[in-house]
Amino acid sequence: MISYVLRRLIQFVPTIFGVTLIVFFLLNVLPGNAAMMAGGKNRIPPAAQKLMIKKWGLDQPVYARYFKYIKGLCTADLGTSFISGERVTDVLAPRLWPTFKLAVIALAIACVTGIPLGFYSALRQGTAMDTVTMIGAVSGVSMPQFWLGLLLMYFFSVYLKILPTVGYGNGDPKFIILPAITLGVGYMALLARTTRAAVVETLSQDYIRTARSKGISDLLINRRHVLRNTLTIILTSAGLQFGSLLGGTVVVETLFSWPGLGTMMVNSIYYRDTPITQGCVMIIIVGFLVINLLVDLSYALIDPRIKYQ
Amino acid sequence: MDNWVKKIRKRTNLVAGTIVFLIIVFVAVFAPYLAPTHPWDDADLMISELPPSGEYLFGTDSKGRDILSRVIYGSRISLSVGVISQLINSVIGIVFGLTAGYFGRLWDDIVVAVANIMLSIPSLIFALAVMALLGPGLINVFIALGLTNWAYTCRITRSQVLGTKNQNYVKAAKAMGFGRCRVMFLHILPNIFGPILVMASLGMADAILMEASLSFLGLGTQPPVPSWGGMLAGAREQLFTAPWLSIFPGLAIFITVLGLNLLGDGLRDLLDPHMSETK
């Protein structure tokens, strides 16, 4: 068990390293670009540009700046904003909680509805309910989030007038309902599809047929054999697809004017504030990687076989 | 041949998906003949924000442009993004996946490592980062989305190559003295093309959805070019006064993406009933 956890933790390091490499070079490959473009449409005079280049160390070669960035990362220093001059960590810290809250609630909504729907559909393969559920699921996957959000906003806020349209409302739970549902629906549909496929696959296994032939009740088979054996598959793909939910936060937050990392990232791209963009990208990716790490570690609890591999 | 016709007929997914896709292609190709007005030249503030009516089926937007015409022209953007960026994805994925699976060793390790890192970056976040580097614009959207999702194709190609490279027909081709490229691209590739095609269809759906998101955020296709996502960018502010602005472009995205997803699902069922449901 411990060796499995350790091995998985050690694998985590090169991935993080690779991600920083790709993200950093992607955002910093054009030298001086940042100074020229900083401030978006308001061009900065050449003399000031030179000063900025000097101040931010943009005259140094990319690899030197990369090592500096990595050194900073080790002490939780993500650099300073090009626009406001504030430390990136200070700018992003208050944005973490709203995004985290939104993502977790959306995740909870998706898991609580998507997994049971997938199960239900698989156990009633070929029935009308199965077809309806799967049509619903493929529709959910195909729905652009901002459109779904607009429709929900129209129905609940403009037509029924029972929920607020946009904003954070200082943490008032009423404000999170629509964004969380908007963000959760696509992921719920993905989960329902994955779960159904995994359960259908498991149901065709020999050990299920053996259990049936022994006269074990369907309920017990579903709980003991099907659920346990599909849970790892469901968790794995849930973890891998969690990225789509995290990416969705950018769109949903922008639509609902939610003060999280996503809106910050979009704004920083408008203003060409590279250190902020980079900080948002890194935090979102690390969040995604940590979730997948947790998923991998949870196997050891769900599936005892993994401990011995 | 008869067998195939029967097989296809049973697949509602495939049939529905194909029909939707063909309709979108038709609309995109014949947009100038189908659209009642020009998508951005015919702006007329006198007729701004008219609700849907007999004259303007989908209504008009805040600049007095006919939404139906803009939705029709928007199909060109979405379709070209889907086709071109997925083509880039497929080519990168196939080349890396084929060579990694076939040559193995160090090259395989490198490709797998890079692909795994790519898979650990959420696609929309990566696409946004590329757009941050390149700046907005349609061509940049092609490039950004073309560089985003290749790892899926790469992974599936590689695993297919690993499964086929020791089969007799590959050994026979090698024994006949054919070069590596010929064996890879003319012997192995055609035999593993099914799963790649499925990925391409699902990838197109993904690319169209992502372009819409980028344009919605104001970082993709720029106005006045009518992109479905971009048309919804300002719709939120007019939700109280002109809700129809929000409906039709979104519906167009939804139907197109749904069609491509159904096509992908149908192709997968047809080509390989055992392939898993996940990406």
pLDDT surpasses 80 at B169: yes
Q: What is the pLDDT of residue B5?
A: 63
Residue A255 in contact with partner chain B when CB distance is under 8 A: yes
> How far is the alpha carbon of B122 from chain A, nearest alpha carbon, in Å?
5
pLDDT surpasses 50 at B277: no
Query: Is there a contact between A269 and B133 (Cβ–Cβ < 8 Å)?
Result: no
- The answer to whether A244 contacts B246, with C-beta atoms less than 8 Å apart, is no
Cα-based distances in Å from A144 to A151, A164, B13, B54: 11, 21, 20, 28
Q: What is the pLDDT of residue A44?
A: 66
Instruction: Select the residue of B132, B213, B253 nearest A277 (Cβ to Cβ).
Output: B132
pLDDT, one tens digit per residue, over B58-67 is 777 777 778 8
pLDDT surpasses 70 at B275: no
CA B200/CA A195 separation, integer angstroms:
23
Other Cβ atoms within 10 Å of A15 Cβ, number: 18
Q: Indicate the residue type of B131.
A: M
Mean pLDDT for chain B? 84
Query: Is there a contact between B142 and B81 (Cβ–Cβ < 8 Å)?
Result: yes
DSSP, collapsed to helix, strand or coil, labels residue B69 as helix
Name all domains of chain B by residue range, CATH numbers in brackets.
Answer: 69-278 (1.10.3720.10)
pLDDT surpasses 50 at B83: yes
Rounded to 10 deg, the angle between the B150-164 and B105-119 helix axes is: 140
Q: What is the pLDDT of residue B120?
A: 85
- Phi/psi for A80 (5° steps) reads -120, 150
- The answer to whether B117 contacts A251, with C-beta atoms less than 8 Å apart, is no
Question: B247: which chain A residues are within 8 Å (Cβ-Cβ)?
Answer: 151
Residue A163 in contact with partner chain B when CB distance is under 8 A: no
For an interface test with A, the pick among B117, B204, B214 (most A C-beta atoms closer than 10 Å) comes out as B117
Q: What is the pLDDT of residue B272?
A: 67
Residue whose C-alpha is closest to residue A258's, from A139, A181, A171: A171
The reported pTM is: 0.88
Q: Report residues of chain A scoring pLDDT below 50.
A: none
Instruction: Select the residue of A157, A255, A265 nearest B128 (Cβ to Cβ).
Output: A265
Mean pLDDT of B104-125: 88
Residue whose C-alpha is closest to residue B89's, from B208, B222, B214: B208
Query: The complex's ipTM?
Result: 0.86
CA dihedral B98→B103→B107→B110, nearest 10 degrees, is: 50
Residue A247 in contact with partner chain B when CB distance is under 8 A: yes
Instruction: Select the residue of A194, A247, A255 nearest B125 (Cβ to Cβ).
Output: A247
For an interface test with B, the pick among A99, A235, A263, A269 (most B C-beta atoms closer than 10 Å) comes out as A269
Q: What is the pLDDT of residue B254?
A: 94
DSSP assignment of A171-201 equals G-THHHHHHHHHHHHHHHHHHHHHHHHHHHH
Give yes or no for a cis peptide into B243 (omega within 30° of 0): no
DSSP assignment of A19-43 equals HHHHHHHHHH-STTHHHHHTTTTSP
- The answer to whether A277 contacts B114, with C-beta atoms less than 8 Å apart, is no
Residues of chain B above pLDDT 90, percent: 28
CA dihedral B121→B222→B134→A40, nearest 10 degrees, is: -110
Residue B278 pLDDT level (bands cut at 50, 70, 90): very low
- The answer to whether B117 contacts A30, with C-beta atoms less than 8 Å apart, is no
Mean pLDDT of B142-157: 91
Q: What is the pLDDT of residue A39?
A: 52
Mean pLDDT of B79-107: 91
Q: Residue window 109-138, chain B: list those with CB within 8 Å of chain A.
A: 113-114, 116-125, 128-133
Q: What is the pLDDT of residue A37?
A: 60
Residue of B nearest to A274 (CA): B132
Helix (H) or strand (E) holding A7: helix A2-28
Other Cβ atoms within 10 Å of B138 Cβ, number: 17
pLDDT surpasses 50 at B276: no
pLDDT, one tens digit per residue, over A275-304 is 888 889 989 998 898 888 888 888 777 777
Residue B279 pLDDT level (bands cut at 50, 70, 90): very low
Residue A257 CA from chain centroid, whole number: 18
Residue B205 in contact with partner chain A when CB distance is under 8 A: yes
Q: Which residues of A61-86 are buried (b: 16+ CB within 10 A; e: fewer)?
A: eeeebbeebeeeeeeeebbbbbbeee
For an interface test with A, the pick among B236, B267, B275 (most A C-beta atoms closer than 10 Å) comes out as B236
Q: What is the pLDDT of residue A273?
A: 82
Q: What is the pLDDT of residue B267?
A: 87
- Tell me how long chain B is: 279
Q: What is the pLDDT of residue A188?
A: 93
Question: A240: which chain B residues are within 8 Å (Cβ-Cβ)?
Answer: 119, 278-279
